[in-house]
Amino acid sequence: MIGNFPFVAVVILLGLGIYTLIFKKNLIKIAIGITLIENGTNLFLITLGYRKGAVAPIYTQAPEGVPMVLPTPQALTLTSIVIGVATTALILSIAMIIYKKYGTLNSDEVRRLRG
């Protein structure tokens, strides 16, 4: 069970994020749900690249026969983190604009007030 803990955490993060996206109406909570999904995806990528007893691929003096950690998931995760921060900032700035214009963060009320 301990060896599968990162995968269990991924499922929990993705489940909470999808639940928040579907059932919550507050725009800030929806932004938090999107962030949970992004973090679950990042954890999944890092977990896929993990190898027990392996060394970082940037360590050039590794002895022969020592396995290396996969660098591609790490690079994808770093890129995903940068994109996630920008996406979260954009979502929150749009939520601030909506709050200034309509005075509420409830998505149902904003939809009703449109027009």
DSSP 43-65: HHHHHHH--TT-B-TT-TTPPTT
Confidence of residue 19 (pLDDT cuts 50, 70, 90): very high
Q: What's the total number of domains in the chain?
A: 1
- Residue 49's CATH number: 1.10.287.3510
Whole-angstrom CA distances from 23 to 3, 33, 87, 107, 109 are 32, 10, 21, 11, 15
Nearest alpha-carbon partner for 36 in 47, 21, 53, 55? 21
- Domain of residue 45 covers 2-113
pTM over 0.95? The answer is no
Nearest Cα residue to 32 out of 112, 105, 108: 105
Residue, of 114 and 55, whose pLDDT is higher: 55
pLDDT tens string 52-77: 877 777 766 767 777 878 888 888 99
The angle formed by the CA atoms of residues 88, 5 and 80, to the nearest 5 degrees, is 25
Name which residue leads in pLDDT, 16 or 49.
Answer: 16
Beta-carbon contacts of residue 26 (< 8 Å; ≥ 6 apart): 105, 106, 107
Share of the chain above pLDDT 70, in %: 94
